[in-house]
Structure 1
Amino acid sequence: MTDVTRPGTRPARPHFSSGPCAKPPGWAAEHLATGSLGRSHRSKLGKSRLVHAIELTRQVLRVPDTHRIGIVPGSDTGAVEMAMWTMLGARPVTMAAWESFGEGWVTDALKQLKLDATVLKAPYGELPDLTTVDPSHDVVFTWNGTTSGVRVPNGDWIRDDREGLTFADATSGAFAQDLPWDKLDVTTFSWQKALGGEGGHGVLILSPRAVERLESYVPDRPLPKVFRLTSKGKLIEGIFKGETINTPSMLAVEDYIWTLEWAKGVGGLSGMIARADANAAALDAFVQKTSWIDHLAADPATRSNTSVCLKFADDAVAGMDDEAKNALVKKIASLLEAEDAAYDIAGYRDAPPGLRIWCGATVETSDVEALGPWLDWAWHTARGK
C-alpha cells in the first residue's frame, strides 16, 4: 500500500455528531447560571427560568404569539408521540416518510394507534410528492430527515384552507431552517440537535387549530399521564407557562437558555440559518471535487443544511455489498476518531451505508473545511490506497 499523507491541520472542534450535537463555540459549563440548581422547578425561581426558556424560544424562532410553546419530557420523540396519541384519529390521516424516524411514526400510527392511515413514502435520498396530500387529512411528516439528509424545502404544498392539521417533526430543522408557522399546527423538536443541548427534553408548539382539536376531540384510547395535555376538556395552560408535566433537569434548561442567548448574539434565526448554510456549502465544496463520495440527497433543493448525509460513489465501491460498505464506514469513522479529526460521523444504522456530518449553526465553517482532507485521508487509508 502507498502511504497517504496525513493532513497537518485538524478541526479545532471535531464534533460532527447528529445528536447530541456540538456545543456552541465558547460554551463552557462555568458560563451556565446555577441559581436554579437544587431548587424545585415549581419554585418561583425555577418556574421563572422555564418561562424565560420559552420566551427566548419564541424570540429566536419567531413563533407568533398565537402559538403555545411547552417543554415536555422524552426529547423530540416524546413530543411527537404526545401529539399523535392525543390528536390523531379525529379525521383521516396521511403519514409521510422518507427516512427512519418518519418510518417510526408510520409504525406507531398503524400498529399502536391502529389508524387506517394513508402512507406516502419515498426511498432514502428522495422526497415523496407532498402535493398529493389530501388537505382534508391530518398529515404527519419530518420537516428535515435527520437520517436521510432530505428536507422539505418550503410549506407551499400546505393549503391555507386545509381542514386537517399538520404535524411537523422539526427536530433537526428548527434553528437552521425557516419554519412557516402559518402552515404548521403541531411542531416538535429537541434542543439537543441544532442547539447542541442536553438530551431528555422536547419542545411542543401548538397553533390555535391544534388547541381546538385537543379541546374538542377525546381519543378512544387510554392516555398515559405523561401525554395528557387537557383536563376536563380544556387545555392545561400551565404546561405552556413553565409548569412542566414531569420534573425537568434545570441544568439542561440553563444550558438551553445559555445557547438561546448565544443564538441571539449571532443574529438570531437569520444568523443561525446563515451559519448552517455556510457549513453545508463548505462540505458540498469538498463533495464536488471528490470522486469517491456523493450526497445521498440528489436534489440540492431538498438537501439538508444540518444533517448532511453522504454515500459512496457507485464507481468507488463497485462490487461491494452493503455489509462490506458498512465495514468501510466503520473503519473510516474509527480512523478519524483515533486521530481526533472527527467524532461520530458514521451514517445512521438504518440508512444506506455512508457518512453523516452535522453542519448546524453550532459548528464552525473552518472546522468543516479542515474536515475535508481528513475524510479523504481516511478513505484512502481504509481502502489501502
Structure 2
Amino acid sequence: MMKPKQRAFVVCPGRGTYNKTELGYLQHYHHHQQSWINQADGYRAEQQQITLTELDSAEEYVLKKHSAGDNASSLIYACAYCDFLAIDQNQFEIVAVTGNSMGWYISLAVAAAMESMTALTLINTMGNLMHQSLIGGQVIYPLVDEHWQPIAGRREHLLEVMAAINQQASCELTISIELGGMLVFGGNELALKKLTEALPPEQQRFPMRLFNHAAFHTPLQQAISLQAKQLLTQDFFQQPKIPLIDGRGKLWSPYSTDPSLLWDYTLGYQVTNTYDFTKAIQVGVKEFAPDKLIILGPGSTLGGAVAQSLIAINWLGWQAKEDFIESQKIDPFIISMGLEEQRQQIVKS
C-alpha cells in the first residue's frame, strides 16, 4: 500500500543565493536535466550572453561577473527550476508556491503560470534591465535579536530614521522587502549613505549593503516597470496549475486567475512596491497547512527568514530560534534543497 503523499509548500529563492560555495551547482545536481539546460544555454547564446553552463563551470567564482543581474538572475532560476523538477512528486503533492523577490518570477514557472523557457525570457529581460540601469541599491538591517525575538521598538525606530532621511534634500528611501526578521531598505545612493551612517553596527555584519543589487521593489524602478511592460506581453502569462502567493500575500488560484492581472502585477505593482515575503510565507502555511516547506536551491540563506516569519505567528509552537533548531533535528518542517542532507530526503532516487 502506497504511503499518502505529504503536502508541500514550495519557496523559490531570489537574488544573492548563488555564491562562491554554489559554484558548480547545476553540473553537480542537474546533469540529468541537460536537455533543459542546453535549451537555456541556446537562448543565452542567441542573446550574445555568457551561457549558464559556462558561468556554473567556471574555475572560480567572480563576484563582479556571477552576481551581476544579467547573469545571476538566469543562473539562479536554472538552479531553482531544476531543483523543482527533481522533487519526488510520488512523495509530495505541491499545494502552493511563493518566492522571495526575484523568486516571484521563478514561482511563475514552478506553478506553470508561464512556460519554463518563457520564464527564462522574463527573468533574463528583467535581469538585463536592472543591470543596465542599476538604479539605487539595498541595505539590510535586523528587526530581531540573536534568538530571533523582536527587538522592542526597533521597527518603529527604523521607520523614524527612514522618515527623517526622506525629509532631506535629494534622498529617496523606502522598505524594499519584509524579510522575516530583517528589513531590506531600497533607495538612492545618498539616502543609503545616510542610512548606514545613522544605524549602529550590529551582529558584526549589519547594516549590510547588497553588492550589485538595485533598489528593487521601490518607486525608483518606475522606468523599469514601463520598459518591461513594453517588452513582455500579456500572452507570456497563463492560469497557474498550482496556487501562487505573491508579495502582498495575495493568492492566485488555478481557476480564477486572470492572466492579464497577473501580468500587470508582475511587471507593475511588484516592481515598484514593497515585497512582503514574510506575509507570503505566513499566508501559505495558514491557507494550505503543509506537512513540509521546501526551499529550492541554490544556497540555503533563505531558511532563516522563513523560520523567523513562522516564529512570528508561533507556527508549530516555535517561539524562538532554539525551538526551530530543536524541531528541525527531530523532524524537519523546512527542507532546504541547497543543503545536501536535507535534499536527499525529497529528491527522486
Higher relative contact order (CA 8 A, sep 6+): 1
Kindly name which structure, 1 or 2, has the bigger radius of gyration based on alpha carbons. 1
TM-score by length of 2: 0.29
TM-score by length of 1: 0.27
Higher helix share: 2
